[in-house]
Amino acid sequence: MDKIIVNGGHQLNGTVEISGMKNAALPIIYACVLVGAKCTIENVPNVRDVALSLDILRGMGAIVNKINDTTVEIDCTDVKPGTSEPELAKKIRASYYLMGAELGRFKKSKVAFPGGCDFGGRPIDQHIKGFEMLGATVTSTCDYVEMTADEHEFYGTNIFFDIVTVGATMNVMLAAVLAKGNTIIENAAREPHIVDLANFLNTCGARISGAGTDVIKIKGVEKLRGSTYAIIPDMIEAGTYMVAAAATGGTIKVTNVIPKHLESISAKLEESGSIVEEFGDAVIVTGRSKIRKANVKTHPYPGFPTDMQPQMATLLCLASGVSYVSEGVYEKRFRYVDELKKMGASIKVDGRMAVIEGGLPLHGTDVVAVDLRAGVAMIIAGLVAEGTTTISNIHLIERGYDDVVGKFRSLGADIKKVSEPD
Ligand code: UD1
């Protein structure tokens, strides 16, 4: 079993280049099924969820060629709907974008129920509501979701989501691009990756406007064409290295970013005592020896991202005073707290709220990456802990972080990956 070992006590300094955003790359990769022609996608992160998604598409008949480390050519001309390998599709959340993509192009779809990190119940009722409103007949079990639609009765419509959901906004957008007439999605999520998916689809001939606001308008088109498109930088990967600078008291220049996407993270880091300087496509974060307490509430974009919650909570373990972290997106996203407690943190969780009594020293020990972002929070904790932290279950970190060990090491961390027999 692979593990990451971190010896704490080293300040991080230097420059780190951010990869393409996982949560934009994944829907765009699945959108290639909708496009049905050769697409060249650039700035693709080298992460497991992407590799697995490309394997899923290959298994469905796509021709996938890696041009270089970050560019991939995907030709889904001959893909057959309903042929994704269930065992692969069940491993990740993003495989659910196949539903919208298959339905939009073929007017039928069958995809295994998606997996992903365990943050409590993660229903897909809003996706299904949107597909049904467009004209699909949906049958779902706990194993798979199957849909059919009559070509002549698959029409654009007005869809008002009951909650703000990233996944359903993108999935319904995918399904609606080739529907007849106009679709309006209201109470849409506004994340930068939604804008990225819309921009990609528009370069392929779609007519989507309003992405990035809570009202997205889609004029149906008959056909899409292939295109070349570069994925936006990963704001969560960037935020993670920004927090690492703040936690270790170092100075890190985080490059290949869009500073606007980082505003809620930069603001919270400044509130907790760090200095954040913004440049065109970079930010420099300088941590200071005294970290201030802060309260954090996660929200959909442009609020503080839930995917930065474990990293920020780890930083607040080092702050003097009591900080309150409240989770506004998922019902259960504090499973990592028990791991931080093993390292000496004092945190009490009550439902969706964690109360952190900061300032207690952290010490290295054996901890588990309970999910993707929680795993990287363990690395940050290990960087500032006294002694050695050994993190297991690191395949979860590798799902979404490109060369995480190499990047931290280049900043001066004493970190390595080891393989042990199971
Ligand atoms: C995506 C991201 C994930 C991120 C999240 C919020 C991917 C692969 N994953 O997840 O990293 O944490 O956005 O930024 O991109 N919900 C429903 N019904 C639905 C859909 C969602 O109740 O039909 C609920 C969810 O359970 C959750 C909340 O809405 O409580 C937000 O979910 P959503 O924004 O859809 O997140 P994901 O797309 O699953």
Q: What separation in angstroms does the CA of 224 have from each of 39, 104, 119, 209, 357?
A: 11, 11, 36, 16, 54
- Taking phi over 0 as left and psi of -120 to 50 as alpha, with beta for the rest, 61 belongs to left
Ligand 1 atom 22 nearest Cα? 123
Omega prior to 300 cis, within 30 of 0: no
Q: Give residue 166 CA to ligand 1 midpoint distance, Å.
A: 6
The phi, psi pair for 275, rounded to 5°, reads -105, 130
Nearest CA, atom 2, ligand 1: 23
Q: Nearest 5 degrees, angle CA 278-CA 282-CA 288?
A: 60
From the candidates 39, 117, 204, 317, which is the catalytic residue? 117
| Cβ pair 170, 97 in contact under 8 A | yes
By C-alpha distance, which of 268, 307, 273 is closest to 287? 273
- Is 117 annotated in the active site? yes
Environment class of 69 (CB within 10 Å of its CB; exposed 0-12, middle 13-18, buried 19+) = exposed
The number of the ligand 1 atom at minimal distance from the alpha carbon of 329 is 30
Instruction: Return the pLDDT at 113.
Output: 87
Question: Quick check: CB of 123 below 6 Å from ligand 1?
Answer: yes
Using an 8 Å Cβ cutoff, are 173 and 216 in contact?
A: yes
The token pair that represents 185 in the structure block:
């999605």
Per residue in 181-219, is it b (16+ CB within 10 Å) or e — as a string? eebbbeebbbbbbbbbbbbbbbbbbbebebbbeeebbbe
Please choose, from the candidates 12, 38, 18, the residue with its C-alpha nearest in 3D space to the C-alpha of residue 225: 38
Domain boundaries, the chain: 2-18+233-419, 22-230
Q: Do domains 2-18+233-419 and 22-230 have the same CATH topology?
A: yes
- Is 127 a pocket residue for ligand 1 (Cβ < 6 Å)? yes
Closest CA to 391 of 4, 1, 2: 4
Distance, CA 183 to ligand 1 centroid (Å)?
Answer: 21
Task: State the distance from the centre of ligand 1 to the C-alpha of 329, rounded, in angstroms.
Answer: 8
The per-residue pLDDT string of the chain (422 residues; one tens digit each, 9 = 90 and over) reads 899 999 999 999 999 999 999 999 999 999 999 999 999 999 999 999 999 999 999 999 999 999 999 999 999 999 999 999 999 999 998 999 999 999 999 999 999 988 766 666 788 999 999 999 999 999 988 889 999 999 888 999 999 999 999 999 999 999 999 999 999 999 999 999 999 999 999 999 999 999 999 999 999 999 999 999 999 999 999 999 999 999 999 999 999 999 999 999 999 999 999 999 999 999 999 999 899 999 999 999 999 999 999 999 999 999 999 999 999 999 889 999 999 999 999 999 999 999 999 999 999 999 999 999 999 999 999 999 999 999 999 999 999 999 999 999 999 999 999 997 76
Encoded tokens for 110: 């069958």
Nearest atom in ligand 1 to 163's CA: 29
Residue 26 CB–ligand 1 contact under 6 Å:
yes
Tokens 């964690």 sit on residue: 354
Are the CB atoms for 281 and 253 separated by under 8 Å? no
Ligand 1 pocket test target in 308, 329, 333 with most atoms within 8 Å of CB: 329
Q: What is the CATH number of domain 2-18+233-419?
A: 3.65.10.10
Residue from 122, 129, 306, 371 whose mutation best tests the ligand 1 pocket (most atoms within 8 A of CB): 122
Secondary structure (3-state) at 146: strand
Residue 73's SS3 state is strand
pLDDT number for residue 117: 61
Architecture of the domain defined by 22-230? Alpha-beta prism (3.65)
Interior angle at CA 217, CA 304 and CA 35, nearest 5: 95
Cα 4 to averaged position of ligand 1 atoms, centre (Å)? 28
Is residue 172 within 6 Å of ligand 1 at its C-beta?
no
Closest ligand 1 atom to residue 92 Cα is 8
Query: Which residue has a Cα nearest atom 17 of ligand 1?
Result: 123
pLDDT of residue 1: 87
What is the C-alpha separation between 42 and 257, in angstroms, rounded?
Answer: 15
Identify the pLDDT of residue 118. 66
Query: What CA–CA distance (Å, rounded) separates 374 from 54?
Result: 25
φ and ψ at 20, to 5 degrees?
Answer: -65, 155
- Taking CA atoms only, the protein residue closest to ligand 1 atom 26 is 122
